[in-house]
Structure formats: structure tokens, C-alpha cells
Structure 1
Amino acid sequence: MENKDTKEAIALKYNITQDNAPKVIAKGTGNLAQEIIKTAQENDISIKEDDDLVKVLLQLKLGAEIPEELYEVVAEILSFVFEIEDLN
């Protein structure tokens, strides 16, 4: 997910067999955000923009699972990613 105006990005990882919830595996602003986005693009990882969610997730520590109150929003994003992957 990225925020183009302020160059903020978050990377989430979710292993359905190992994780209780998606985890924050990278986050940053400015140049670091650009690197996160570039790495995602180079590895054909889907990018979804959601400025409000990025702001909330930036407050989490690296490795932290997303809080339960964000499950519904993140589930919508995961659904989007799975749809994109199915189309390819």
C-alpha cells in the first residue's frame, strides 16, 4: 500500500497456515517508502493504495500483527490481491 502525496508505504505478509493475522514486514516514508514500492514492483507484488490505512499501519511496530479492529479492512485488501493474482 502506498500514499503518493507523502510517500508512505507499508508491506504486509500473511501466511494463512502460520500467522493469526497479517504482519507488518516493512514500513517507511520518503526514500524508504520508494524502496518498498520499487521492491514490490520488481517482485510483482500487488500494490493497493489506501491513505487512511497506511497512516494507521505506520504506527505499528515491524513484525506486529495488525490489530483485530483492522481485520475487515485488511481482508478487503487481501481479497483485492487474490483477485488480481487470479487474473494473471
Structure 2
Amino acid sequence: MSRKHRRSAAALVYDAQGNDPAPRVIAKGYGMLAEMIVQRAKEAGLYVHEAPEMVSLLMQVDLDTRIPPQLYQAVAELLAWLHRLESGAEHAPESGVAAAQDVTDVVATDIADASGGAPRR
């Protein structure tokens, strides 16, 4: 299978209350390594979000490196998705859309504030 069609995966870590000013890429890989990353995440009870465009961007970030400011908004949306899943809001009615955007805005602002930059829109 060509590299273009191989599965890829990237893992992020972010502790808004800790010492991480922005999410970091802590694992990434193609093929069997990607499968192992996803499998281990699921075994650990972590959520796996499959967005090829996001993975493609994260694959360009060096390991153990903070995401660049250009990805703050996209990663904030990912973290907002996770927050909705954890809070059970994924089943919320249409009024949940504004709340989800509020969470995204807060996360993007937190990332920007912690790293000294501004969220990109």
C-alpha cells in the first residue's frame, strides 16, 4: 500500500491547568504504528477522533512539540468535541451548538493565553 493510502495517527496531550501552554504531539506514525496508537488509546479508554485532515496537519508537528498557533482553533474544536462527549452533550438539542462554540472559544483562548499568542480564526 502506498504511503498516501496508509493509515496515520497522532496523539495529543493537553493539561490546561498544568504546565502545558499548548497541546503537544506525543505520538504519531503510519501503518502498523498508527494502528497501535489507536488501539492503545482505545484500551486506555481514551477517545479517538478520526479526522484525516487534522491527522495530516498533526503529522507535520515534531514529536513532543507544542502545536503551532495556526492549529489552535482546529485543536480547540477537537477539545470542545471531547468535552461534549465527556459531558454527554453530544445528544443535546440544537441549542447545544452555541454552547459548543463557547467551549471552543474558551479552549482556543486558553491555549493562546498560555502560549502568549492569539487564537487564529
Q: How does 1:61-80 map to 2 (within 5 A)?
A: 61-80=62-81
Give the aligned length. 83
TM-score (norm 1): 0.89
Could you list the runs of 5+ residues in structure 2 that have no partner in the other structure?
Answer: 89-121
Could you list the runs of 5+ residues in structure 1 that have no partner in the other structure?
Answer: none
- CA RMSD, Structure 1 to Structure 2 (Å): 1.0
**1:45 paired residue number:** 46
TM-score (norm 2): 0.66
For 1:54, the aligned partner's letter is V
Q: Secondary structure at the match of 2:25?
A: strand
Displacement over 6 Å in runs of 4+: none
Deviation at 1:6, TM superposition (A): 2.5
**1:54 paired residue number:** 55
For 2:9, the aligned partner's letter is A
Sequence identity percentage: 39
For 2:51, the aligned partner's letter is D
> Which one has the bigger helix percentage?
2
Within 2, Cα distance between the matches of 1:72 and 1:44? 25
Q: Secondary structure at the match of 1:9?
A: strand
> Which one has the bigger strand percentage?
1
